[in-house]
Structure 1
Amino acid sequence: MAQQEPQPKKVKLVDFSAASAFYGSRKGYVFKTGDQGLGYYLDNVDKAKERVLEGLEGPGLFARAPCVDVEAPETVKAPVPAPAEEPPKKKKRFDPFADLPPPKKKAAPAPKQPTPEPEEKAPVKVFTSGLFKLEQVHCLHIVRKHKDARNPTSWRHPGRRIDRTRQDATDELEKMRTKLLAAPTHRRRSLFQELAKKFSECGSAKKGGDLGMFRRGKMSAAFELAAFNLDVHELSKTVASSSGVHLIYRVA
């Protein structure tokens, strides 16, 4: 009985393009020999052919069942799901005060303290020199008359009218007052009497300006107010009256 020649196993060239989405854009093929399968990429087809041919049986197989390069169909791309639409973002409202620091919290108001009752104050004394307590005073004075005085004449020059102004008379007495204040206290009365004898334009100048003791209502109002408001051994400021400008020194 003649021995049958073994039938060669068929070699199938299977397209691997269905899996190209997984392997990228490269085209691939699978060569199968029986139940064995080998997978190769297109750039390794020559190596695949050698591996397949080595597993075949029988001579002349290559002529009957050659491995031929077959162009794979175009790769079918898997559908890419559309990206999910993001919900529209809410537009932020412009706040011009966003960069400002937060307002400070107001401190709690302090508890109210009971208001103390006002203390009774002692009555204010209007006149502290005893103006209304004195009945009479003893003073010296120097008077300088001026052209606007009630009687602009001097006992020193009878019949001659005085032509000095009130300001000139005041300036002369201010110089005398400065000199008196610079003198020692115990010398002030005697110096005042000397100046009165030399410059006063009243008849009392012969006695050093001594007016003696006098009560209220005896002198002009401005002169009386200044005299009764002086302390003992106190020198007044310049005092203007209808008779002229005066300096007053109280001795008692």
Structure 2
Amino acid sequence: MSGVSRWEPPVGTDVDKLKSYLATHHKTSKPSSDVPQIPKPKEQAGGASGVGESKIRAAHLLVKHRDSRRPSSRRQAQITRTKEDALEELRGHERRIRDENDPATLGSLAFEFSDCSSYSKSGDLGFFSRGMMQKEFEDAAFALAVGEMTGPVETASGVHLIQR
């Protein structure tokens, strides 16, 4: 098992009707109270990182681009943005998260904008160990101390912000 979430609609499904239903019945302007809320990241203070830990818990916000390994998401059937556009979008999210005057958190932005199915849990991936994620993602996540957030991390899936 790769740990990658993937769902394809059954053969014969009217994808436009499905998208319309999901947009009408499963989209809210803010996360519900049963969705984990992820606080703003701490400034990197040289705290204990995940190095040496067997499992860590992290959340992320993924922005896919047309060269991603699966260039589609709940928001867009065929993603056409360039990698540069995806990075620009992700950097905009990063600026908002790091802005003390902006109430946005990684969790709230992941819920609204992430191209990963973990959006429904505010980007929370739960606990994972080495070997379960793509190497670039794993290395960045395990290097963080609890509460820290990366800058953009590029993987075959797209570009991510990762927070422990």
* Matching residue of 2:53: 134
| Greater share of residues in strand | 1
Tell which has more relative contact order, 1 or 2 (C-alpha 8 A, sep 6+): 2
Runs of 4+ more than 3 Å apart = 128-132
Q: TM-score, normalised by structure 2?
A: 0.67
Q: How far apart, in 2, do the equivalents of 1:155 and 1:214 lie? A: 24
1:164 counterpart SS class:
coil
Instruction: Please say if 1:156 is aligned against 2:70.
Output: no
Structure 1 runs not aligned, ≥5 long: 1-127
Q: How far apart, in 2, do the equivalents of 1:219 and 1:207 lie? A: 18
1:130: Cα distance to partner? 4.8
1:1-252 matches, within 5 Å, as: 130-157=49-76, 160-183=77-100, 191-250=105-164
1:132: Cα distance to partner? 3.9
RMSD of aligned alpha carbons: 1.9
- Equivalenced residue count is 118
Does the C-alpha gap of structure 1 residues 239 and 150 become closer, same or farther in structure 2, counting only changes over 3 Å? same
Sequence identity, in percent? 39
What whole-Å deviation, never above 9, does each CA across 1:54-87 have from its counterpart, x for those lacking one?
xxxxxxxxxxxxxxxxxxxxxxxxxxxxxxxxxx
1:141 counterpart SS class:
strand
Q: TM-score, normalised by structure 1?
A: 0.44
1:147 counterpart SS class:
coil
Contact (CA 8 Å) 2:65, 2:79: kept in 1 or not? yes
Q: How far apart, in 2, do the equivalents of 1:246 and 1:235 lie? A: 10
2:80 counterpart SS class:
coil
Q: How far apart, in 1, do the equivalents of 2:122 and 2:50 lie? A: 25
1:156: Cα distance to partner? 2.5
Structure 2 runs not aligned, ≥5 long: 1-46
* Matching residue of 2:20: none
